[in-house]
Amino acid sequence: MKKILIFLGPPGAGKGTQSQLLQERNNYLQLSTGDLLREAVKEQTQLGLKAKSFMEQGKLVPDDLIIQLIDQKIQEIPDKNLILDGFPRTISQAEALDKLLENQNLKIDAVILFDIDQEEVVKRLSGRRVCQKCGAVYHIVYNPPREDGICDKCGGKLIQREDDKEEVIRKRLEVYNSQTIPLVEYYQDILIKIDATLDKEEVYKKIISVV
Ligand code: AP5
């Protein structure tokens, strides 16, 4: 593995959007715990069955399940730059990641903090649509598809995520503030804050300029 980046920020800050851009345009691979969990729920695997109710309520899935998932995935990763999107999300996940990387003589190059206020995040999440087939992310106002409800990339159907209902969004933000914000201090030596309120191409340019 070459570079390892962590994308940290509240739900809806644009972590997934930027991960997809870096994956398409640069030699990065996105590893999103949210996507892996949604896939597991869809496939009704053991992990999916355990994770489902936490996700529906906007709560974090227990650390031991997430750490096990990442441990297994990291070993399968080819020799590419890696973006950890949505992981770690608690101090114990961060400590587990440190151990896991140390065992493989790897280290985190930078933690990108997506800086955005919470009201903007609510607007972004309530208008988000995702492709059921390929996972591409759109927004009904900020990033609409060419044809209403249809993915530009693969023609799949665009849907609204179950946890993008306003009351669940509020819960996710609460969880972010209490359980994930402490990571800002944990990673202070390698943290790079970027203005995530800018247009997606501007945010992309900022990320490229710092990594
Ligand atoms: P996860 O899927 O990771 O959700 P999240 O962190 O809440 O992040 P989002 O996917 O909602 O937002 P994003 O920052 O990727 O924004 P996006 O690019 O889509 O997690 C879901 C659940 O899984 C969690 O609640 C938890 O239960 C569980 N989970 C996952 N990881 C876990 C872990 N490590 N531990 C425990 N539990 C875990 O953009 C949002 C919208 O804004 C889109 O519509 C997009 O088009 C638009 N947009 C993006 N950028 C811009 C821009 N610059 N300007 C205007 N609009 C923009």
Residue-wise pLDDT tens digits, 106-157: 999 999 999 999 999 999 999 999 999 999 999 999 999 999 999 999 999 9
Does the C-beta of 172 come closer than 6 Å to ligand 1?
A: yes
Residue 32 Cα: closest atom of ligand 1: 3
**What mean pLDDT do residues 81-102 have?**
96
Does the C-beta of 16 come closer than 6 Å to ligand 1?
A: yes
Residue 17 Cα: closest atom of ligand 1: 18
Is 146 a known active-site residue?
Answer: no
pLDDT for 1 equals 61
pTM for the model stands at: 0.95
Mean pLDDT of the chain: 95
Is 3 a known active-site residue?
Answer: no
What is the token pair recorded at 83?
């973006």
* Cα angle 54-56-61, degrees, rounded to a multiple of 5: 25
For residues 151 and 174, give the distance between their C-alpha atoms in angstroms, rounded to a whole number. 31
Residue-wise pLDDT tens digits, 106-119: 999 999 999 999 99
Question: Contact, 122 vs 129, CB < 8 A?
Answer: no
Question: Contact, 149 vs 157, CB < 8 A?
Answer: yes
